Amino acid sequence: MIQKIWKDLFDSFDAEKLSIASKEGIEQIIDMLIADKIDPQIFLSNLEALLRGGMPSVKDLFLGTEEKPKTSKSISSFTFVANRPMGTPLWFLAGYPDVMNWFKDQQKKYIKSHNRDYDGWETETAKLYGLDIEDKNVDENQIVDSEGRLRPKYHKNLVKQYKNATGKKLEVSIGENSYNNIYLGAELLNMIGAESNFTLIAENTTKYYLELTKSCKNRFKDEAFLLATAGILDAQFYIFIDQTINPQEIIDIAQKSVSSNEEALIDFIIKLEVKLFKIDTPDMDISRIENLALDKKKL
């Protein structure tokens, strides 16, 4: 399901004719973003800032600062087009702005300490990207794609160099304790041997809840937040891609279930099912949706 979230995201930009990545490298890019646990929300906010060139949108002009989309600290270095390293794709700048800032720092240090030896820096750049420029047998098509961009594996090499040199956490990677950690859901499902299927709301929410209770219950303020996290993990497609649900709505459902019902988990699942079914089948009568949910309870 994590792959689908990222694929839908890239497809949405492709549909808008916005070239942020070469089509032939999408699978490798998505694998890289997932491996580094890049936060889709911050990624999108960074990407928007890049596409707008640092200029505020009409929406920003009327929103308070707390409501504005969160961008990462380093992205401000690249919002002005002239400051972007030549040939660096937008997906990489959006997901790894701290890596590119580090790369620029390495360039400045090298040029300053080597008497402005730009040819020498080209060799150092090749090393950072894992390119063997001395190998005469290397096919150029293996290095760049049909659009003339470096293939994702070389950007991956640069990220590895950054990690090894700095030991820092990637700026756009999601926090391990974040309530909207979409990667936790995939990890938990792997642990319990299940596949993520959003038509199985009750089953998946229960599995999330049980695993969260078992593994990290003490991290949650109370039962309501534990329930809410399980629900957010199960409804992540609606939250991060469709954006038809705000996480606070699920928190509200969880708090009501805990405060008004002894069978809080079951009550929460039913209410969550109703909410998701209403989105998927907007023309369906609410009472029928509730009856479907109650029928599942009896099974």
Query: What is the pLDDT, as a whole number, of residue 85?
Result: 86
Write b or e for each residue in 226-239: b if 16 or more Cβ atoms lie within 10 A of its Cβ, otherwise e. Answer: bbbbbbbbbbbbbb
Query: What is the pLDDT, as a whole number, of residue 262?
Result: 67
What is the Cα Rg of the chain in Å? 23
- pLDDT single digits (tens) 207-228: 888 888 888 888 888 899 999 9
Are 200 and 267 spatial neighbours (Cβ–Cβ below 8 Å)? no
- pLDDT single digits (tens) 221-275: 889 999 999 999 888 888 887 788 999 999 999 999 998 766 788 888 888 888 8
- The pTM assigned to this predicted structure is 0.61
Question: CB under 8 Å to 35, separation ≥6 — which residues?
Answer: none
Choice between 1 and 22, residue whose per-residue pLDDT is larger: 22
* Per-domain residue ranges of the chain: 2-166, 182-298
Which tokens sit at 264? 């809080």
φ and ψ of 135, to 5 deg: -80, 105
Reported residue count of the chain is 299
Structure letter (DSSP) for residue 20: S
Report the SS3 class of residue 297: helix
pLDDT category of residue 193 using cuts at 50, 70 and 90: very low
